[in-house]
Structure 1
Amino acid sequence: MSFNPHVTVACLVEKDGRFLLVREMIDGCEQLNQPAGHLEANETLEEAAKRETLEETGWRIELTGVVGIDLYTAPANGITYVRTTFIANAVTHLPELPLDQGIIGPIWLDRDEIASRRELLRSPMVLQIVDDYLAGRRFPLEVAGRRG
C-alpha cells in the first residue's frame, strides 16, 4: 500500500484580536477554516499560501512567520495532510475579487467565537493552530524551506 500525503498550506491572519477564517460549503454544509489549500506544481509553500488566501478571502497578505508544520489524518477519508501554517498580516482587501467556488466569504472571529463554533470547524486543527499561536508557537519563514 502506498502512502501519499497531501501537501497543504494555511494562513493564520490576526487583526485586532480577530482571526481571518473562510466560510465555505463542503458537501452542502457550511464549514470554517483558515484560508488554506493544496500546493500546486512549480510554486513554493509561501506562494501557495498567498495565492490560497487571496483566492478564498480577497485579502492580499504579507507572510511573517510559521506557526507550525503539522500532520492531520482526516477521519472521513483517511487522507493524511502535511500542513504548513503561515503567520500573515492582512495588507489589502479586494472585495470585488471573485472567490473560489464553494466559498461563501471571509469572516473575522476572535478565539472564543471560533471555539463556540467548534461544530462548524473543518478540522480540529483550526482551533489548535489559533491556540498554538496564542501560546507563542512561532518560527521564522525559513523553516518552510526554499525551492530546490
Structure 2
Amino acid sequence: MANSVPATETWRPHVTVACVVAVGERFLMVEEEVNGRLAYNQPAGHLDDGESLTAAALRETLEETGWTVELQHLIGVHQWRSTEHGEAVVRFSFAARAVSHAPNRPLDTGIRRALWLTRAEIAALDDRLRSPMVLLSIDAWLDGRRLPLDTLSYLPEGGSM
C-alpha cells in the first residue's frame, strides 16, 4: 500500500548512486559509521542538486575511497524502502574501472576506510551491509548486466535536446 502524501506536498524519493568497482575477484567497498554502528557499502551517496547521475557517482567514489574511477556501464536502477530512515530510495548502480588512487586523501565524514573484498566476504557481512542493494548490484554485475551510459540523459538547467 502506498503512503499517502498530503495534497500540498509532493512525494520525493532519495536519489542515490553507487559504483561497483572490481579488480579481479575483489570489489571496492567502504566501511562507514551509520547511526552508531559499522556498515559496509559500495562507494555510494546522494545526488546533489544540479549534478548529473554520472558526475555524482564519480564524486562519491572519490570522496569515500580516494579512488578515481572511469564509469563503464549502468548496471541497474533499484528501488527500496530504507530500514534506516523509512523513506524510499532510488539507486542508480554503475560499473566502474579503477584508474588511480590517492591514499592520503581524507575520506568523507563517517567513512572509516576503503577495502577490497570478494563477493563471499561481502555476503558474509550479512546484516552489516548498508542495504540489500549492495549484493543486488554486485550480482547484477556478475550476471553481466550492462547498459550503455548514454541510456541516461542529463539536461542542465535551461538545456534542451
Measured against the shorter chain, the TM-score band is over 0.9
Provide the aligned C-alpha RMSD in A: 1.1
**Which of 14, 21, 44 matches 1:13?**
21
Q: Residue 52 of structure 1 aligns to which amino acid in structure 2?
A: E
Q: Please, which moves more after superposition, 95-104 or 71-80?
A: 71-80
User: Counterpart in 2 of 1:75?
Assistant: 83
Equivalent residues in 2 for 1:16-31, closer than 5 Å:
16-31=24-39
Aligned to 2:72: 64
AA paired with 1:34? Answer: Q
Task: Please tell me the residue identity of whatever aligns with 1:118.
Answer: D
Residue 52 (structure 2) pairs with residue 44 (structure 1):
yes
Matched, 1:136 2:136: no
1-side partners of 2:28 and 2:79: how far apart?
22
Structure 2, gaps ≥5 residues long: none
Structure possessing the higher radius of gyration over alpha carbons: 2
Aligned partner of 1:16: which letter?
G
Query: What one-letter code is carried by the residue in structure 2 that aligns with 1:9?
Result: V
Scaled by the length of structure 1, the TM-score of the pair is: 0.96
Q: Percent identity?
A: 49
Alignment equivalent of 1:120, drawn from 116, 128, 136: 128
Query: Number of matched residues?
Result: 148
Q: Which among 115, 119, 130 is matched to residue 111 of structure 1?
A: 119
**Do the aligned partners of 1:84 and 1:144 also contact (CA within 8 Å) in 2?**
no
- Return the TM-score normalized by structure 2: 0.88
The SS at the match of 2:151 is: helix
Q: Hey, what does 1:99 align to over in structure 2?
A: 107
Say which SS state the counterpart of residue 103 (structure 2) adopts: coil
CA separation in 2, counterparts of 1:93 and 1:14?
14
Which residue identity lines up with residue 138 of structure 2 in the other structure? V
